[in-house]
Amino acid sequence: MAAVSAKPRIFVTQPIAESAMKRLRALGSVKVFPDDSRVIPQKTLIAAVKKADILFCLLHDTIDRRVIAANPNLRHVAAQSITPSNIDVAAATKRGIPVTVVPPVTTEATADLTFGLMLAAARRMVEGDKLVRAGKFPGGQSRHLLGTGLYGKTLGLVGGGGLIGKATARRARGFGMRLLYWSPREKPEAEREFGMTRVSLDELLRESDFVSLHPPLNPQTRHMISDKQLALMKPTAYIINTARGPIIDEAALVRALKKKKIAGAGLDVFEHEPKVHSELKRMKNVVLNPHLGSATVEVREEMANIVVDNIEAILAGGTPPNCVNPEVLVK
């Protein structure tokens, strides 16, 4: 792919870190969908792609065949996501368009949020916040919002041998938690470092006070938590998902919560994002976040600048460091 002298037109699907924007403006003509409170509508995205050479997209954007086909001259899909799960890579490859992503730089931020959701759900922090804002204060030793402690409890990490699972385990040690994990393969180094014990998924679900999900989304893990698995959990247990929404069968989760088969949930991701099951929104024992796993200033700035690194490499006629279909770059 030869370098070109003309300034490229770059479209960004939401505002990003200013340091990355400054670099993009030096590379070409940049336009940005200005509203970071919502996902860009698909019609608006397609219209913008028709006038762009490079698409800078985010994890939540759906880059399907219609988007890719909107502009026969589209040169690069540069995603600010670790995996291209919402991108039709095959369609892009067929058209010779490189798709780039970012490396897993969200580990610590996501582990922080995982623990935040555990604490918020178990200690009923969101309910407490709403109570105070409504002018109610039941008293410092009232039983009104009794919750569950984390210290000394059992944490089950599904996919606990991965980066985020291990980072969560590191935090759990500070809470004196007993650590169980399930993974398709043994992780002896993690077992030694964090004192984790590998068990079957069924045993993990039966014994854990908190179940935290960390596997990748693939055909094997889609709906790996459904009615059967939720029925194994303690009625006092909580489930936390900061991985991918479809790992949980959301309808089954609603049934388990309504029947009080489990105590509650902390969810940062959802099966049909950005849509959230209406029943979940009505439940006081569920803490809901709009996919905030990587939402720290430091991490988002790093991610945005890695995307710019990929764009710079493509424009220079080189090989970007994070290309998922490098075969299209063969000269």
**Side-chain-side CA neighbours of residue 193 (13 Å):** 14
Tell me if 104 sits within 8 A of 165, measured CB to CB. no
Is residue 203 annotated as part of the catalytic site, yes or no?
A: no
Question: Token digits for 197?
Answer: 């014990």
Handedness of CA 171, 175, 181, 185 (dihedral sign): positive
Is residue 291 annotated as part of the catalytic site, yes or no?
A: yes
Choose, from 76, 291, 300, 302, the residue flagged as catalytic.
Answer: 291
Choose, from 75, 124, 244, 300, the residue flagged as catalytic.
Answer: 244
Is residue 244 annotated as part of the catalytic site, yes or no?
A: yes
Question: Token digits for 110?
Answer: 């996501």
Choose, from 273, 279, 301, 312, the residue flagged as catalytic.
Answer: 273
The residues carrying an active-site annotation are 244, 273, 291
